[in-house]
Chains A and B, each alone.
Chain A
């Protein structure tokens, strides 16, 4: 066997293991942010007893979720009921392998990384739909159908908003896109409309407020997750926050320079220091956008399902298309 192939497989396995290990602490950190940040925005304290200043609250939540009784409804379909959380989590985990953390620190640097990403992130729809159906519960069914409709509708503006950036950069690979941004400036200047559409569609795609009506707990208890308890619910819960992290990471990779440092700093260093530098800036920028998402959750009420759909198809899709056409025309005319 090829040593290169073996080394490649070994590297890939190591990378995916590290990524999977990364997801859980990420989820913990983001949940902790939600607890404390939303609490402060609500003029209350948030958890402050577990650990110094309440820092370990979400970790304990994670362990608590492991300790809960695992119930399956009597007439639920066991196989699909069990598979649903895996599907959602795997969609998130699989899409992480193309996330550009640092130059050379991408688990799988596909040349069609962007296409791969959007293809895989849509698999979570299947998981939610299956969860809704397999629970044998009308609330879950309603939630699952709502989520399928919502996520499928918003995938189109999501992908279309990115195509403008792709056309400009001329590449579908994340690392090359970031390389283009290093030379020509960050893409949010070139594609502001694309950025806005992408941000809104990404929030809708990962079911964050103001688009979280599938888990609208004032109407449908917990949507497709109603019958899930214990670690199964934990999977869904983590998957949502990991997806938030992933979407923010992709957002900054596409529009805000990925691992590049902003102006006064050197954009990219070499070698191991370069990797660390890239990781630092990547996480910093990602968490800024995660914070914005949490901020939106604290502030905005929920959009209703039909208004959501109307917005996706009647507003965002046309704008994304127009953006794409204009970008394409500009690229051809100015021969960029």
Chain B
């Protein structure tokens, strides 16, 4: 939509559209301004945030936080893709604009490890609060004894020789969001079941 390029100027890049969706890409740090413009501008009026999700494009690439918006005035969904760096995944929160983004952001933090600055309640929502890893990342490895099971190897995830633990070990972890409430939080690291590139499979009993 031409309106978008007008209103958003240089912050929106890579416009793409098909009959159903219009997509723009923005930089991570600018997402709040862009979304605010989209919501408040009287010609755009994208009042409803229908979805906020995260995509992991791989270990060497970046994250993306993808927002989908709806407006009465425009027939297509609007997709806003905000690029987030993988080694320091921080992005401002949109909970000031839509309170309903809270659970979305908590889920994105829980599953991907993206930290939303300014979010008042960035806790884990699905996993238990002391979980150390981010399950939906591409390099998520669950070090359990699946490798020793009789059915090991059916799924690539179960074959340890296919795991690239070198990259996993080198990927720095994400600390808990810095807040006054956890001044002495332990630094995030690889989960406790991985050591020296090997998983600590339990050999104490036959499987």
Let me know if chains A and B touch directly in the complex, using CB atoms closer than 8 Å.
Answer: no
